[in-house]
Amino acid sequence: MVHIRTENGVWRTGGRGYTWAGKPDAWVLPFEEAVKRISHCGPEKHGAFILAEPDTPRRPEDDTIKALEADAALHKRAAEECL
C-alpha cells in the first residue's frame, strides 16, 4: 500500500487535494492502482510513491520531519535535472 506524491504534496483520499504522508486524510491505495492514477502525469509533476506505514501512534513532529525530508529530496532531484 502506498501514498501518491506529486509536486504539491501527498494526495488526499480520492485525489481531492493534498496533505502529508501518514495523515488520516492521506490516500492509501495498492501500488498498481496508484500507478494507474498518475500514469497520465508528465515528469514535471514529479510523481512518486511513498510506502504507507501501518497505523501506529505518531508524534506530530515526526510528520513534520518526514514532510521536510520529502520536500528536500524533491527539490534536490529537480535541481539535479537542471544541471
pLDDT digits (tens, 9 = 90+) for 52-70: 987 655 555 566 677 777 7
41 pLDDT exceeds 80?
Answer: yes
pLDDT at 55: 62
Average pLDDT, the chain: 84
Per-domain residue ranges of the chain: 2-82
Mean pLDDT of 21-45: 92
32 pLDDT exceeds 80?
Answer: yes
On the 0-12 / 13-18 / 19+ scale of CB atoms within 10 A, 79 is: exposed
31 pLDDT exceeds 80?
Answer: yes
